[in-house]
Amino acid sequence: MAERAEEQHFGEGEPFTIGLEEELFLVDPRDGHLVNTGAELIEQIGELPRGEIKNELHRSQIELITGVCTTAHEAVAELCELRRAVLATGAGVVACGTHPTAVEGDSQFTEKRRYERIHELLGDAGATPVCALHIHVGMPDADTAIRVFNGLRCHLPLLEALSANSPYRHGRDTGLASARQLTLRSWPRAGVPRAMADMDDFLRSTARLTKVAEVPDYTFHWWKLRPHPRIGTVEIRALDTQLSPRHTAALAAAVQSLALHEARREPDEGPPAEILDEASFRASREGVEATLPDNDDRLRPVADLLEEMIARVRDCARELRCEEQLDDLSALLADGGGAGVQRRACRGCDGQGIDGVLEALVARAEPVGEGYGSTDPMLSAG
């Protein structure tokens, strides 16, 4: 049975607006180790003038949620305000896809029926917490949502390569740029769904999968990308939480610009699922150093594909007033992405190794700079 018509909210706001959700690890600011204090922290913060801070699957995580924003810059500035509200309590946070040193058992599941059900479904596969950056783009109607959803599928590997920010997990270098992606491969309904013919196709497909999976609704489909009829957006869920507000804004600008670009161009079939999955793994393994297949299945450097993508969507970025942030993708690439920054920090930690990385990751003070009222301690450390 398809979702009820009243649960589709496309076109109720300005099209191609943007909203961000940033998941963070809560840590002891003295040593960077996980603390299971999410509920207590949220209660301590109380009401906020804008945006939300919510619990996540694990008590050692929180999620910062912006309101509906016009530009990537506005959305990231709001995330920074929410981050400051967290830091003002004396809490520490770590912003990356996996906590570098936590082991299974360090993090406790949140006592909430939805999360208890996820724990039941996943078992030990959900024992390692992961943190993601989710990007929502508002859609004017259901047909455009499906067109954008189908079009964005082929861009996921490039976006995943650029966002890779979790080389360390369980106290060691995993050999991957995004260990978060490795972790999520053990989850059901966590890959890239097939292209959809129209919204009815999506609703029928998700209703059928929901029934077979014995889950309440499509929000238990943890796909890397999905239309989200209930809030009228297309949502990308494939990206690691970023070290730097500048990196976050660059990725947000890319997704917002690509969404507008895909809404306006003639659709094509895109790569088959097996090629897309392989490209995604290559992206998570090597990050910005990856070679990824182009439309002709030629393996090409991320740098080349990024240059072409920026040129392709520049007019859309200019229209959306995020051209400056889009151009910061080049700076992200030069930084080596989050994984590169973390590994450089590890090499420069005077023998402390991964403990030094953890110390460098901890947000301790009021950030300044980068145009968001927020800095990135890792960039200065790298």
pLDDT in tens, 158-197: 999 999 999 999 999 999 999 999 899 988 899 899 999 9
Written as one string, the DSSP assignment of 10-47 is: TTSS-TT-EEEEEEEEEE-TTT--B---HHHHHHHH--
What is the Rg, in whole angstroms, of the alpha carbon atoms belonging to the chain?
A: 19
**Per-residue pLDDT tens for 98-126?**
999 998 888 888 888 888 888 888 887 78
Query: Domain containing 83 — which CATH number?
Result: 3.30.590.20
Q: Which residue has the higher pLDDT, 124 or 36?
A: 36
* Positive or negative torsion for Cα 153, 313, 290, 103: negative
253-65-22-35 Cα dihedral, nearest 10 degrees: 170
- pLDDT higher than threshold 60 for residue 2: no
CA distances from 291 to 3, 11, 179, 273 (A): 39, 38, 18, 18
- pLDDT higher than threshold 50 for residue 6: no
Q: What's the pLDDT score for residue 376?
A: 47
Q: Which residues pair with 17 in a beta bridge?
A: none
Give the structural domain span for 75. 5-381
Amino acid at 299: L
Tell me the pairing of strands 92-94 and 18-27. Answer: antiparallel
Query: What percent of the chain has pLDDT above 90?
Result: 72
User: pTM here?
Assistant: 0.94
The tally of domains found in the chain comes to 1
Return d(Cα 131, Cα 243) in angstroms, integer.
11
**Mutual orientation of helices 199-213 and 142-153 as an angle, nearest 10°?**
70
- 304 CB-near residues (< 8 Å, 6+ apart): none
Task: Please report where in the chains the tokens 């014995």 appear, as a residue.
Answer: 214
Return d(Cα 25, Cα 70) in angstroms, integer.
27
Q: Which residues pair with 172 in a beta bridge?
A: 169
User: Among the listed ranges 5-9, 13-17, 100-104, 218-222, which one has the minimum average pLDDT value?
Assistant: 5-9
Q: What's the pLDDT score for residue 350?
A: 61
Q: What's the pLDDT score for residue 221?
A: 92
Return d(Cα 334, Cα 328) in angstroms, integer.
10
Return d(Cα 270, Cα 154) in angstroms, integer.
6
| Mean per-residue pLDDT, 137-163 | 97
Q: Collapsing DSSP states into helix, strand and coil, what is residue 108?
A: coil
322: burial class by Cβ within 10 Å (0-12, 13-18, 19+)? buried
